[in-house]
Amino acid sequence: MKQISLAIFLSLLLHLQINAQGDRNCSTMHNLERLEMIDPSIVHNMDAIETFTNEYIATHSMSGERLVVTIPVVVHVVYSNSTQNISDAQIASQITILNNDFRKLNADRTSIPSVFSGVAADCEINFCMAQRTPAGASSTGIDRVSTSTTSFLDDRVKSSSTGGANAWDATKYLNIWVCNLGGGLLGYAQFPGGSASTDGIVIAYTAFGNIGTAASPYNLGRTATHEVGHWLNLRHIWGDARCGSDLVTDTPTQSTSNYGCPTFPKVTCSNGPNGDMWMNYMDYTDDRCMYMFTTGQKTRAQSLFATGGSRVGLVSSNGCTPPSAGGCTTPIGLAAGSITSTSATLTWTAVSGATSYNIQYKLSAAGSWTTTTSTTNSKALTSLVASSTYNYQIQAVCSSSSSSTYSSIASFTTSAASVSCGTDLYEPNNSLATYRAISNNTNYLAYICPSGDEDWYRFTTTSSARNFRVTLTTLPFDYDLYVYNSSGTLLGSSTFGGTTSETYTRNGGTVGNYYIRVIGYAGVYSPSIRYTLKATTSSSSLRTADGSESEEEIIDIVDENTGFVVYPNPAKDHFIVSYNSEINGTAVVSIYDAMGKLLLNSPFSVSSGLNQVELNTSDLVNGYYFVVLQDGESKHSVKLLISK
């Protein structure tokens, strides 16, 4: 008990110190530390949740068809005076803000810098005021409790025995407590993995919603958005450590929390040129300067609702559905099938006694619904937009005076529009088994089309011409080149960004067959522009990027002038950067992941002439990375494949 008392004392002391700063105060991490001392099993629970989250991220695509989650919310208003007893309208304003922020419908999303707009995400999470209590009685979702306690700390607001309100079933509802928080705090949350009796978020009555008692600069409801983010297992964007990790790949590493409303870009932790993502809801900026979640954050949150996820019970909760009236129950079993680029057929489980159904559907980013009807439990939708996500919900009509509530919102994504590819004489050659043989020293023109297409070729060296070079030119987009030996083992690759030509050279190779693979990076393709492929064989050694003509050398050519090269590529546990420098001084090698997040920044001394530096990659997982060399005013980059 001495340890617990000390933890509470330190927590209170920290609250007072934070209050002295006058900035946004989120004590979620301090609350976690306090709970871990009271119940050490929380550490094990959170470790298990993190393992599940990582497995989900590794095996699930966020572009696939799935249900949009709707979370029932109960707001416990705990007040000691009439000012703290906030109005129904103020509560409603906060629920609207949560729905807008988590569905990327917030009006200020247009302020997202263009460099981050590509990762700004619709989290596909909705919120509704609970329509029934855990016992099944009708409810507004608002629980008002008068108390003699003037302010709260350390979860005391979550229990009637300490002047607060008891939680509703945390597997079926999101509990939000609104009260007078002590220590100048704006709010805090409980991460998944803690006790159900304290699960939820706590918000100061002066930082809830955007009307009534909400006080500037925290008067736009973003405190609740931030804390619900924690409740959905999102960390502070700076990882609560200097240049720490928030366990998300598409948020830039940043030095620490941001306050107020910074100027873009704000560069820290060598995260230039774009700098901190201070407009993310998980930073500490003012409400008016928060307006985005990222795709990576969305994936972490969505993992909680997958089968086996720690909050999966909310998916099947009936908290948003009022007790049925007249026997007309809400439709369930929503599904979408026969999906094309312009159409889809919706189905659902038939409702006993229903004479017809109302169907509402819309583009996920749209603000209004299109309504249609059906006399059966299916409906074909037409004239849809290709490659777009639609939301839909169903209402049963049992008689002129009896209708159900609308179902939970479900979604589907239309397929891409069909592509008319140019005529390619070499198709099908989409695998090593279906390669097309080509002659040496001859240009071949072909298409990568449609998306996902890949082309395989075979050429042959002879004892009199064992050296070869493969070139890939006239590229419409970022195409990559791979070369394999006669048994199909990868020898090397050339994988520059953009439309830079690709070249692979090998001297002194084994006489026999070699295979070439051409693909579009990340699925890019062109239905109208052909690339040019050529396999050149020679009796003389061919010049490689570093000027050498060594036997059995496998190397990816990058720059004939500077000799900049990264090898081996693919790499396993290390790679070497080699290049000719024009200066005496310091150069920097940086490694970025596929989302552009800086992973390593390594300066080293260089002198005029040939320089080499070896970097360890044992900590990197398999995948593509970008290696960038900054040498004075010169900058070079190459795509690196880690394959262990």
Tell me the C-alpha distance between 331 and 333, whole Å: 7
Please state, for a pLDDT cut of 90, what percent of the chain lies above it. Answer: 56
Residues 409 and 429 in one domain: no
Q: Taking residues 59-79, report their average pLDDT.
A: 79
From 357, 382, 413, the end of a domain falls on 413
**Is the confidence at residue 319, as pLDDT, over 60?**
yes
Residues 79 and 171 in one domain: yes
The pLDDT value given to residue 524:
86
Pick the range with the lowest mean pLDDT from 78-87, 125-134, 634-643: 634-643
Tell me the C-alpha distance between 158 and 144, whole Å: 13
Pick the range with the lowest mean pLDDT from 143-157, 328-342, 542-556: 542-556
- Indicate the number of domains in the chain: 4
The pLDDT value given to residue 558:
40
Q: Does any domain span residue 278?
A: no
Q: Taking residues 527-550, report their average pLDDT.
A: 75
Residues 47 and 59 in one domain: yes
Q: Residue holding tokens 């190397």?
A: 555
**Is the confidence at residue 231, as pLDDT, over 80?**
yes
> Nearest Cα to 364, choosing from 393, 344, 399?
393
Residues 478 and 611 in one domain: no
Tell me the C-alpha distance between 340 and 380, whole Å: 11
What sign for the dihedral angle of Cα 17, 179, 78, 169?
negative
Q: Taking residues 488-517, report their average pLDDT.
A: 88
For the chain, what is the mean pLDDT?
A: 86
Give the highest mean pLDDT range of 188-202, 358-372, 485-499, 535-549: 188-202
Residues 523 and 379 in one domain: no
CATH code of residue 195: 3.40.390.10
Q: Does any domain span residue 392?
A: yes
Residues 40 and 165 in one domain: yes
Q: Which residue has the higher pLDDT, 556 or 628?
A: 628
Pick the range with the lowest mean pLDDT from 41-55, 187-201, 290-304, 416-430: 416-430
Q: Which residue has the higher pLDDT, 356 or 423?
A: 356
**Is the confidence at residue 74, as pLDDT, over 90?**
yes
**Is the confidence at residue 37, as pLDDT, over 90?**
no
Give me the residues paired with residue 337 across strands.
345
Q: What are phi and psi of 97, to 5 degrees?
A: -65, -45
Residues 497 and 596 in one domain: no
Q: Does any domain span residue 266?
A: no
The pLDDT value given to residue 609:
76
Contact between residue 103 and residue 122 where contact means Cβ atoms under 8 Å apart: yes
Q: Taking residues 40-64, report their average pLDDT.
A: 84
Q: Does any domain span residue 301?
A: yes
Pick the range with the lowest mean pLDDT from 41-45, 125-129, 516-520: 41-45
The pLDDT value given to residue 123:
94
- pLDDT tens for residues 583-622? 777 888 888 876 667 788 788 787 777 778 888 888 888 8
Tell me the C-alpha distance between 583 and 606, whole Å: 7
**Is the confidence at residue 66, as pLDDT, over 60?**
no
Q: Taking residues 417-427, report their average pLDDT.
A: 82
Residues 392 and 341 in one domain: yes
Calculate helix-pair angle for 28-38, 41-59, nearest 10 degrees.
120
Tell me the C-alpha distance between 482 and 520, whole Å: 12
The pLDDT value given to residue 50:
94
Q: Is 208 exposed, middle or buried (0-12, 13-18, 19+ CB in 10 A)?
A: buried
**What DSSP character marks residue 476?**
S
Write out 616-641 in H/E/C secondary structure: ECCCCCCEEEEEEEEECCEEEEEEEE
Q: Does any domain span residue 35?
A: yes
Contact between residue 134 and residue 173 where contact means Cβ atoms under 8 Å apart: yes
Q: What are phi and psi of 532, to 5 degrees?
A: -120, 125
**What DSSP character marks residue 409?**
P
> Nearest Cα to 547, choosing from 595, 580, 588?
580
**What DSSP character marks residue 22?**
T
Residues 33 and 51 in one domain: yes
**Is the confidence at residue 557, as pLDDT, over 50?**
no
The pLDDT value given to residue 356:
92
**Is the confidence at residue 195, as pLDDT, over 50?**
yes
Q: Which residue has the higher pLDDT, 213 or 409?
A: 213
Whole-number CA gyration radius for the chain? 30
3-class state of residue 106 by DSSP: coil
**Is the confidence at residue 1, as pLDDT, over 50?**
no
Q: Taking residues 36-47, report their average pLDDT.
A: 89
Buried b (16+ CB within 10 A) or exposed e, 448-460: bbeeebebbbbbb
Residues 40 and 155 in one domain: yes
Tell me the C-alpha distance between 317 and 332, whole Å: 12
DSSP state string for 129-172: E-SB-TTS-B--SEEEEE-S---B-TTGGG-GGGTS-PPP-TTT
Name the helix (H) or strand (E) containing 301: helix 295-303
Residues 594 and 630 in one domain: yes
Question: β-strand 467-473 against 531-538: which pairing, if any?
Answer: antiparallel
**Is the confidence at residue 25, as pLDDT, over 90?**
no
Tell me the C-alpha distance between 174 and 127, whole Å: 9
From 528, 557, 586, the end of a domain falls on 557
Q: Taking residues 20-44, report their average pLDDT.
A: 79
CATH code of residue 552: 2.60.120.380
Name the helix (H) or strand (E) containing 31: helix 28-38
Tell me the C-alpha distance between 84 and 69, whole Å: 31
Q: Taking residues 42-46, report their average pLDDT.
A: 92
**Is the confidence at residue 200, as pLDDT, over 60?**
yes
Please list the active-site residues: 227
Residues 524 and 584 in one domain: no
From 396, 413, 430, the end of a domain falls on 413
> Nearest Cα to 603, choosing from 619, 620, 584, 590?
590
Q: Does any domain span residue 250?
A: no
Q: Does any domain span residue 270?
A: no
The pLDDT value given to residue 549:
39
Q: Taking residues 60-66, report their average pLDDT.
A: 52
Tell me the C-alpha distance between 301 and 57, whole Å: 10
Phi-psi region at 51: left, alpha or beta (left = phi > 0; alpha = psi -120 to 50): alpha
Give the residue numbers spanning the domain of 367. Answer: 324-413
CATH code of residue 630: 2.60.40.2550
CATH code of residue 351: 2.60.40.10
Q: Which residue has the higher pLDDT, 171 or 630?
A: 171
**What DSSP character marks residue 320?**
T
Q: Does any domain span residue 251?
A: no
pLDDT range class, residue 394, cuts 50, 70, 90: very high
Q: Taking residues 274-295, report their average pLDDT.
A: 96
Q: What are phi and psi of 300, to 5 degrees?
A: -60, -45
Q: Which residue has the higher pLDDT, 111 or 634?
A: 111
Contact between residue 143 and residue 177 where contact means Cβ atoms under 8 Å apart: no
Q: Which residue has the higher pLDDT, 181 or 541?
A: 181
Kindly report whether the global pTM for this prediction surpasses the value 0.75: no
> Nearest Cα to 621, choosing from 585, 578, 577, 572?
572
